[in-house]
Amino acid sequence: MTPPATITDDLITRLSRHVAASGAETIASVEVFTGETLATLPCSSVRDVADAVHAARVPQARWAELDVRERMGVFERFHKLVLDERETIADLIQAETGKARRYAFEDLIEPAITTSHYLKAAPRLLRARARKGMMPLAIKATELRQPKGVVGIISPWNFPFALGMSDSIPALMAGNAVVLKPDSQTALSPLYGVDLLYRAGLPEGLITVVLGDGPTVGGALVDNADYVGFTGSTRTGAEVGARAAARLIGCSLELGGKNPMIVLPDANVAAAVDGAVTSAFANTGQLCMHIERIYVHESVHDAFLAKFVDATRALKLGARYDYQCDVGSLISTRQRKAVAEHVDDARAKGATVHVGGGSREDLGPAFYEPTVLTGVTPDMACFAEETFGPVVSIYPFRDEEDAIALANDTSYGLNASVYGRDLDRARRVAHRLRAGTVNVNDGHAAAYSSMDAPMGGMGSSGLGRRHGVEGLLKYTEAQNVAVQRVRVIPPPKAIPYGRYTGIMARSLRLMRRIGLR
């Protein structure tokens, strides 16, 4: 299989110009379906990262001076370009990730949805807001939202276009510059997104890409940026957070998950199976919000399991640049081996493999079958550790309290799901789950696609939120500008301080009585 005709040497050369790299060192990515070289791109050094951040400060200062509505025109045009060029973007995403094309489409469409939301919300959220001063009429306070400066975005390989662009867009809208470090294997699609931003009229130098070894280049970005957004593993996220804290800069961390689904006794079993298949095997299971644990009430457990196994067996695997396949490849042979180790460990310790459980190297070097397990116990690696592949375990439960306890028995807290016909009951269960997003009668998409609501994790799943109000305002500093019209702090020199204390006490009592404070 050859890469699509849209991926040309001229395109790769053009995209390479957006990488900050001064040396001759290069880095190669592969076409995942075949394992053959897809592109060779410049590699950045630690000095290149520092220089990229420094160079971004001049255009960032000019950009921040513009009224937010002036900045929005760039993103109106970017939104249109993403939709117009969706087939080229999908080709790039598929070639560098190996995912099925339907998930490449979901990858590329998410930044368009994010952009559309903040085009409406950003002018409102970023405007100056009058706040009550200590003494009405005497003091006027105004809350301003100032950009952080240069924001470092470190994005992962599983949704390279979505997470690279959707984290960069609100940062840019808020008046910042961005230095983006995507995973080197999946740099082409975010580079194409950067190219589209410049074609949309973004001033030169406001977004730059750095590429290279994660600990080295990513570490240098944390050491130089004014704020950091990171999506990746919990272990690396903890290191990023500690490094940011040492510099007293803020960070947002979306990390791992071991996400549960609860199927209540009154659930529509067929609907629950459909939702579970999608949420377990979407993006070949390489989705931070995907379901890895399914808890099914014992009264419907057997029916659910039988239908779920049949639906899983019916999924079509393949390496195709069209919409004919349901499940694509894993990102790499390394990831395939890690998934296989979890399944082999569970099988060796007594778990039952109902479907799947094997590599499919006949389809490509990193393919692994969608796999359904039962009988998984705490001594098995896949019981508590994130597998991040097309593997799901199913467990029976006795009652509602049992289900909630099982679902919450994890250090993670990213996403969860509840299925049930009685929506009041399902919501009550959802409210008791310790996860940043909880879906009722859906696996993950309902919460993630609700752009006006926050999305992020609790516990080992991270800090901060994307989407919603926080998804934009986290890239700003709140500034309070207070203007004293009449001197009340400190008191006028003509009033003795002892008398002033009495006046202030009476004034505060009066304001409290009439509801001003």
How far from 112 is each of 162, 163, 260, 449, CA to CA, in Å?
9, 12, 29, 12
Whether the CB-CB separation of 85 and 189 falls below 8 Å is answered with: no
| Local structure of 409: helix, strand or coil | coil
Nearest-angstrom CA–CA distance, 238 and 363: 37
Q: Across-strand partners of 397?
A: 297
**369 half-sphere exposure, CB direction, 13 A CA radius:** 18
Q: The whole model's pTM is what?
A: 0.95
Are 45 and 218 spatial neighbours (Cβ–Cβ below 8 Å)?
A: no
Does the bond joining 490 to the residue before it have cis omega, within 30 degrees of 0? yes
User: Token pair of 224, please?
Assistant: 């130089």
Nearest in space to 146 (alpha carbons), one of 65, 56, 223 = 65
- Active-site residue (options: 110, 254, 292, 386): 254
The answer to whether residues 308 and 291 touch, using CB atoms and an 8 Å cutoff, is no
* Domain residue extents for the chain: 9-129+147-255+468-475, 259-451, 487-514
Q: How far apart are CA 389 and CA 328, in angstroms?
A: 11
> Quick one: CATH architecture of 259-451?
3-Layer(aba) Sandwich (3.40)
**Residue 133, pLDDT score:** 85
pLDDT of res. 439: 98
pLDDT > 90: what percent of the chain? 91
Interval 418-449: pLDDT, tens: 999 999 999 999 999 999 999 999 999 999 99
Q: What is the pLDDT of residue 491?
A: 76
Tell me the per-residue pLDDT of 353-405, one tens digit each, with 9 for 90 and over: 999 999 999 999 999 999 999 999 999 999 999 999 999 999 999 999 999 99
Using alpha carbons, select from 317, 323, 321 the residue that is nearest to residue 284: 317
**Residues 156, 163: contact at Cβ < 8 Å?**
yes
What's the mean per-residue pLDDT of the chain? 96
Q: For 462-497, how does the pLDDT look when each residue is reduced to its tens digit (9 = 90+)? A: 999 999 999 999 999 999 999 998 877 777 788 888
Closest by CA to 201, choosing from 38, 354, 76, 374, is: 76
**In the predicted model, is pLDDT for residue 315 greater than 60?**
yes
Residue 402 and residue 200: Cα distance in Å, rounded?
53
- Tell how far CA 141 is from the center of its chain: 35
Q: Which residues pair with 6 in a beta bridge?
A: none
Q: How confident is the model at residue 492, as a pLDDT? A: 75
**30: which strand partners?**
37
Pick 9-129+147-255+468-475's CATH classification: 3.40.50.620, 3.40.605.10, 3.10.580.10, 3.40.50.2300.
Answer: 3.40.605.10
Q: Are strands 250-254 and 227-231 parallel, antiparallel or unpaired?
A: parallel
Give the model's pLDDT for residue 503. 81
- Structure confidence at residue 517 (pLDDT): 56
Please give the share of the chain, as a percent, with pLDDT higher than 70: 100
Question: Helices (H), strands (E): how many in the chain?
Answer: 18, 18
Structure tokens at 197: 């931003």
CB 258 within 8 A of CB 224: no
CB 253 within 8 A of CB 465: no
Residue 513 phi, psi dihedral angles, 5° rounding: -65, -40
Tell me the three state secondary structure of residue 403.
helix
The two tokens of residue 346 are 């569970």
Contact in structure between 171 and 51 (CB atoms under 8 Å): no
Q: Mean of the pLDDT values across residues 57-68?
A: 97
Q: What is the pLDDT of residues 93-112, one digit of tens each?
A: 999 999 999 999 999 999 99
Predicted confidence (pLDDT) at residue 135 exceeds the cutoff of 80: no
CA nearest neighbour of 511 among 140, 143, 132:
132
Task: Please give the C-alpha separations between residue 510 and each of 23, 485, 514, in angstroms, as whole numbers.
Answer: 70, 21, 6
- The pair of three-digit structure tokens given for residue 114, joined into one six-digit string: 């994010």
Which band of pLDDT confidence, cut at 50, 70 and 90, is reported for residue 510? Answer: confident
Say whether 259-451 and 9-129+147-255+468-475 share the same fold. Answer: no
Q: Tell me if residue 470 is catalytic.
A: no
pLDDT (mean) for 182-197: 98
Instruction: Quote the CA–CA distance of 168 and 147 in Å, as a whole number.
Output: 13
Q: How many CB atoms are closer than 10 A to CB 374?
A: 17
Query: How far is the C-alpha of 183 from the C-alpha of 213, rounded, in Å?
Result: 9
CA gyration radius for the chain? 26
Place of tokens 């019981």: 383
* Mean of pLDDT values over 214-242: 97
In the block, tokens 């690696």 appear at: 381
